[in-house]
Amino acid sequence: MIDIRLHKKLKGASGPIPLELDIHLQKGDIVGIYGPSGAGKSSVLRMLAGLMQPDSGFVGVNGEIWYDSKNGRHLAPRHRHIGMVFQEYSLFPNMSVRENLEFALDHSDDTGLVDDLLDSIGMRELANQRPGILSGGQKQRVALARAMIRRPTLLLLDEPLSALDMEMRRNLQHIILRFHADFQLTTLLVSHDSSEIKKMAKRLLVLENGKIGFDGDPLTFFASLE
Ligand SMILES: Nc1ncnc2c1ncn2[C@@H]1O[C@H](COP(=O)(O)OP(=O)(O)OP(=O)(O)O)[C@@H](O)[C@H]1O
């Protein structure tokens, strides 16, 4: 179980946006986050990753406290068991694909996992190439594999597929679903694509001006827009 209570006064283009979130995620959930630009979606992921400091609140993940403003606890990002993939390709350009994965390892004796992940994303042949020669889809496959290296409990995906064409999106959606099952993850997926959310998520949170406007079945929500 993941308990999330976050309060933060965001600085919106036309004034402050008080972000207020109080949600519980079940282990194994894939939860979509949808909403207009500037609603606070990326900020929520960044606070969970420990990259943005909330004003107050609490984040508890399977009994471990990552953030508790009452006790001044703020676990550093590197100590949170998270995997993150964002829209921008974030690979190190001067390292090979394999080195990008190895760099994320905690223990160098886990190189077997690197090979397994390279196989599962179909990139063993390109393991010694640098990211510069890869397509966008190949780069995101490597980024997803790299996010798995530390066996995260929480996977944070912020529009990871939005720069890709339809075929590559489908391919990556399957990889995400497979990783989600194999690594027994809890996954938060920010997406502007309703079909992607309907395909991937069983639960949808719609964020509007920092507040949850809908929490429930994605099919119900998107049907209500038609
Ligand atoms: N560290 C910060 N402190 C206060 N406000 C911030 C901070 N970082 C971002 N903001 C503001 O929070 C608001 C929400 O931004 P955020 O990127 O979370 O929205 P979003 O819903 O992900 O938007 P988009 O769909 O366009 O990516 C923006 O107005 C932004 O300027």
Above 0.90 for ipTM, yes or no?
yes
| Residue 211 tokens, joined | 């507040």
List C-alpha distances in Å: 68 to 6, 13, 61, 194.
10, 29, 12, 33
Ligand 1 probe mutation, 43, 52, 84, 159, most atoms within 8 A of CB: 43
Reported as a single tens digit per residue, the pLDDT across 170-190 is 999 999 999 899 889 999 999
This prediction's pTM? 0.93
Cβ atoms < 10 Å from Cβ of 26: 11
Whether 127 is in a domain gets the answer yes
Does ligand 1 come within 6 angstroms of the Cβ of 104? no
Please choose from 6, 8, 9, 10 the residue to mutate so as to test ligand 1's pocket, defined by most ligand atoms within 8 A of CB: 10
Let me know if residue 49 belongs to a domain. Answer: no
Number of structural domains the chain divides into: 1
pLDDT digits (tens, 9 = 90+) for 2-29: 999 999 999 988 889 999 999 999 999 9
Is 215 a domain residue?
Answer: no
Q: Note whether residue 164 is domain-resident.
A: no
Q: Which domain holds residue 109?
A: 93-150
Cα–Cα distance for residue pair 222/220, rounded to 1 Å: 6
Is 125 contained in some domain? yes
